[in-house]
Amino acid sequence: MQKRKLGNSNLEVSALGLGCMGLSHAYGPAQDRSEAIKLIRAAVERGVTFFDTAEVYGPYTNEDVVGEALAPFRDRVVIATKFGFELPSTDGKQNLNSRPEHIRQVVEASLKRLRTDVIDLLYQHRVDPNVPIEDVADTVKQLIKEGKVKHFGLSEAGAQTIRQAHAVQHVTALQSEYSLWWREPETEILATLEELGIGFVPFSPLGRGFLTGAINKDTTFDSNDFRNTLPRFSQEARDANQALVEVIGSLAASKEATRAQIAIAWLLAQKPWIVPIPGTTKLHRLEENLGAVDIRLTAGELNDINSAVAKINVQGDRYPSHLQKNVGR
């Protein structure tokens, strides 16, 4: 497995991480605990050293599973988790809370669930408009001094917020959505990260499964699958967005690769400090995703992808309005 460093920090991780959310949250029933642990350990055996979780996934259960799975390998892996929500949510909404005292409470609870004495990378899950980002960054700075956290990260933050936080405590990584069907980070975020020496950790690099070609307008999701609530996954949007899947598929066929591998390889080719974190519940999909690290896209192939994708108007917002308001702040 190839390694990458997140920005100009000394945090080196596998070129692909594993997003663990889907093992217990958002995409239907939680994976059987023993099977989830088995998958995480299979990733370690295949060279993955970067694992992403959060207290809100489950809530709480995902951190516990990740902690148990990685306990035997703790000195070989990097664990990222997140704070920033008021839990439990009683109204189904994302109620934000990044008050300093709450951050400390979350960190103490996360350390116990993760079975560790230090969190390698601690993200603010969403920017809280009611708490100055400088206060958030300073709280994490103190936690780093206390040895409870090693690195500070932000998730779905806007460029100005990133700069303000970075001025107080070095931001090691930004985690936000980025893929061939969501390229908004290219407008301002990537340049900001490059200037400041911050790594980028794209989540949903496969468009929540859509870019694999396994989803079409006739696909039905589990009643608990949150894609049912996303405008981009309406039946009409899925039908319209098949054009993007076809573009990826044509290149995949010529490279004797899968669509998923091309989508991930494209991301890896954008910057050497980008580390995608695709998630899966299946071993064969894990192995397929890891195979993307060995695919090299030529400059000509990258140009062809960009030219083809530029002609496609991807349909549907990525979040409903009540969630959309919490990103890009």
Q: What is the pLDDT of residues 114-168, one digit of tens each?
A: 999 999 999 999 999 999 999 999 999 999 999 999 999 999 999 999 999 999 9
Does residue 286 carry a pLDDT above 80? yes
Per-residue pLDDT at 322:
85
Per-residue pLDDT at 91:
62
C-beta of residue 263 within 8 angstroms of C-beta of residue 293: no
Q: What is the pLDDT of residues 10-61, one digit of tens each?
A: 999 999 999 999 999 989 899 999 999 999 999 999 999 999 999 999 999 9
Residue in 27, 57, 123, 178 annotated catalytic: 57
Domains of the chain: 3-324 (3.20.20.100)
Q: What is the pTM of this model?
A: 0.96
What does the block give as tokens for 205?
A: 């690099």
Does residue 92 carry a pLDDT above 70? no
Distances in Å between the alpha carbon of 309 and those of 131, 220, 232, 289? 39, 26, 17, 21
Does residue 93 carry a pLDDT above 80? no
Could you tell me if residue 58 is left (phi over 0), alpha (psi between -120 and 50 degrees) or otherwise beta? left
57 classed as catalytic: yes
Confidence class for position 246, pLDDT limits 50, 70, 90: very high
Characterize 127-161 residue by residue with b for buried, 16 or more Cβ atoms within 10 angstroms of its Cβ, and e for exposed.
Answer: bbeebebeebbebbeebbeeebbbbbbbbbbbbeb
